[in-house]
Amino acid sequence: MNTAAASLWQLVRDDYLVRRGAWIALGIVWLAAAWAELRMLVFIPVVGGVVWLLMQRRGELEDDTDLL
């Protein structure tokens, strides 16, 4: 991961307003996709739920990223 991507990820992770904006953008994209295809109305939340469940089972990872 380059430094720009790492900086962007840190901004999304730490800044509450940016994180809220990302969730709102995700909701808008989901509604647009659901409007076009009704199967997406169910598919996207199910995939999100599975990813969340797997992340919860994995637990917290130690942050030892060495970018160089």
| pLDDT, tens digit, 9 for 90 and up, residues 38-50 | 777 788 788 889 9
The pLDDT value recorded for residue 50 is 94
Q: How confident is residue 25, by pLDDT bands cut at 50, 70 and 90?
A: very high
Of the pLDDT bands very low, low, confident and very high (cuts 50, 70, 90), residue 68 is low
At 1, the pLDDT band (50, 70, 90 cuts) reads low
Half-sphere exposure of 31 (CA within 13 A, CB side): 6
Q: Say how many C-beta atoms besides its own lie within 10 A of residue 30's C-beta.
A: 15
pTM, entire model: 0.49
- 3-state class of 27 per DSSP? helix
- Collapsed DSSP state (helix, strand, coil) of residue 65: coil
- The percentage of the chain sitting over the pLDDT mark of 90, rounded to a whole number, equals 9
Residue linked to tokens 């730490």: 14
* Through-space distance between the first and last CA atoms of the chain, rounded to whole angstroms: 10
User: Could you tell me if 5 and 65 are in contact, meaning their C-beta atoms sit under 8 angstroms apart?
Assistant: no
